Amino acid sequence: MAFALTTALLLLSAMPASTPTPGPLWSVAIPGHGRAVFVPPSTPGRAPLVIAIHGSWDRPEWICEMLDRALRGDAGILCLRGVLRKERPNDGPRWTVGNEATTRAELAAALNVVASTFGDRVMTSRPILSGFSLGAGMAATLARKEPSAWSGVLLVEGGMGARVAGLVPKALPLALGCGTRGCSAKSAALCRTRSGPCLAETDLRYGHSYNPPFEESGARLLRWLVATAQAASDATPQ
């Protein structure tokens, strides 16, 4: 019995730190950045990858759960952890979005882990980038500065100013989700200024959140981005 217990402990200690925790949401260790959340696709073959940056008082588990309900296994979903907030409410810790440098570093490290662990399940080259509220502003900034890295961008309730998403190159497909009237007006104005693919949708039932029924709108916007990116890829000479 003692030998068996010792052997089991040795085997557990030898497991790599990045081994995902089984479950609907997989907790994946990202070197230097805590644990990101990943939802593997359920479709055969290699599926598109959606990257999510949450808001200011948030958790990656929450946004991954919503995106999973929206996509129903048709894409892999990687939700960044971000930076731990000092304030801690009664229901547990919350995270916010780091600065551009820390977000880029976490994103690069997370993509490396996903490529090495799930590369046979998802397409890690030119994923779709999404963000909510403060995370939408960061997503718009990353897309503006490195448009060739992404196949499309989804912004939800944030990042839609003329000096943020307004500067995202027009050739990059852009989807905008709004649950408030102010956001809706900005998204409609933004799409009118773009010559490239742009789709805006408003559902005032979910407000400044991604609570239900956002997944209904989110599913339409994300599937439009995937289809638009695929059409552009098919039209590109090989």
10 occurs within a structural domain: no
58 occurs within a structural domain: yes
If one counts the domains in the chain, the total is 1
What pLDDT shows up at residue 123?
A: 96
49 occurs within a structural domain: yes
13 occurs within a structural domain: no
73 occurs within a structural domain: yes
208 occurs within a structural domain: yes
Q: Is 208 helix (H, G, I), strand (E, B) or coil?
A: coil
Name the strand (E) or helix (H) holding 27.
Answer: strand 26-29
7 occurs within a structural domain: no
- Concatenating the DSSP letter of every residue in 94-154 gives -EE---HHHHHHHHHHHHHHHHHHHTTTB--SS-EEEEETHHHHHHHHHHHH-GGG-SEEE
Instruction: Print the domain residue range for 158.
Output: 19-231
What pLDDT shows up at residue 238?
A: 58
Q: The CATH number of the domain where 54 resides is what?
A: 3.40.50.1820
Reference 63, options 50, 74, 54; nearest CA is: 54
Rg of the chain over Cα atoms, rounded to whole angstroms, equals 19
Q: What type of residue sits at position 125?
A: S
What pLDDT shows up at residue 20?
A: 43
Spans in the chain with pLDDT lower than 50? 1-23
Q: What is the spatial distance between Cα 10 and Cα 18, in angstroms, rounded to a whole number? A: 17
60 occurs within a structural domain: yes
Residues 6+ apart with CB under 8 A from 25: 37, 38, 39, 61, 64, 65, 68
| Residues shown for the chain | 238
Are the CB atoms for 164 and 141 separated by under 8 Å?
Answer: yes
User: What does each C-alpha distance from 15 to 8, 110, 238 come to in angstroms?
Assistant: 11, 19, 42
What pLDDT shows up at residue 18?
A: 40
